[in-house]
Structure 1
Amino acid sequence: MKAGLAALALGASLALTTPTASAGELASGCWNTGRWYCENVYGAPVYQSRYGGEIVGYMYTTTSWFECRTDYGDYVGGPHPNRWLWTQADNGKWGYMRDIDVYSETDPLPTCPA
C-alpha cells in the first residue's frame, strides 16, 4: 500500500513539473556562425514581453538562434535570474525566451539595445 501511494505521489509530482534547463545540465556556451545559436528545452515558450505575459509561440527545436539577451526582465531564477533572450518562435513571431529554458551558457550573446 505504501509503495503504491509513493508511486502515485511521484507520478503526480512529475506531471506537474515543466522542463527547464538546470545549472547541472548546462552545455557549453552559445556559438556564433553569423547568428547566435544555443541549446534549449524542446517546446520552450516564447513570450511577447521580457516581463512574461502572453505566449506568442514555442520552440520545437532544441538548437535555436537568438539575436541578443537582456538582464532587465521579470525574475525567472537560474544562473541569470532576470535574463531573457530575443528570438523568433517557430511560428515566425518575435518575442523573448526565458534564460532558464536554455541549456547553453548565454553570456556570449550580445546585449539587446535599450
Structure 2
Amino acid sequence: MIDGFRRVVRRLAASVTASALACGAAAVAPAASAAETAECQVRPAEQHRDWTGMDFTGDLWCELQPGFVRIQSRSTSPVVGRMLYSPSWFVCWKRGSDYLGSDVWYYTQGDQVLTRPVTKAWGYMPAVAVKAPAPEATGLAKCPWS
C-alpha cells in the first residue's frame, strides 16, 4: 500500500513539475555529486500555514533523505516529526548548528507527528538531508525569524 502511495506521489510531483515548467517557473539544478542528479522546483504560489498560524507563500519542492524534523535548527533539538516520503516541500531556511558540515536548516512540516502534537510536526531538517543547491541559489526565502 505504501509503495502504491509513493508511486502516486511521484506521478503527481512529476505532473506538478511539468506544469510549472510549462508556465515558466524556474527549475533549480542542485550542486550534487554525479550519483545525485535531483532537481528542486520553486513553487511561488503554494500556500502553507504553520502550527503558530504563520502563513507562507511559496515553497521549494525537493528530493530528500527521509529522516527527523526537529523543533529548532540544532542537532540537539527535540525531534517533533519524521519525513517519510520524498520529494517534499520547504517554506524557508535559516542557519543553525553545524550538522555534518553544514549549518543550513530548512523549515517544513513532517509527514508523521512523533512528539509534541501541538507543533503538527513543523520544524527543521538539516540541509544535508535535502538534495538542493545552496539556499541562496534556490530563491527560497530566509526564515523571517533568522
- Whether these two folds match at TM > 0.5 is yes
Consecutive unaligned residues of structure 1, counting only runs of 5 or more, are 1-21
Q: Give 1:104's match in structure 2, choosing from 124, 128, 132.
A: 132
- Structure of larger gyration radius: 1
Structure with bigger strand share is: 2
Task: Please say if 1:82 is aligned against 2:113.
Answer: no
Equivalent positions of 1:1-114 (< 5 A) are 23-24=32-33, 25=36, 27-32=38-43, 34-35=45-46, 36=59, 37-42=61-66, 44-52=67-75, 53-71=77-95, 73-78=96-101, 81-91=102-112, 92-105=120-133, 107=135, 108=138, 109-114=140-145
Consecutive unaligned residues of structure 2, counting only runs of 5 or more, are 1-30, 47-58, 113-119
User: Could you state the TM-score of these two structures normalised by the residue count of structure 2?
Assistant: 0.54
SS of structure 2 residue aligned to 1:111: coil
User: Could you state the TM-score of these two structures normalised by the residue count of structure 1?
Assistant: 0.67
> Which structure has the higher relative contact order (CA within 8 Å, separation 6+)?
1
| Corresponding residue pairs, total | 89
Contact 1:27/1:39, CA 8 A, preserved across alignment: yes
Q: CA RMSD in A?
A: 2.1
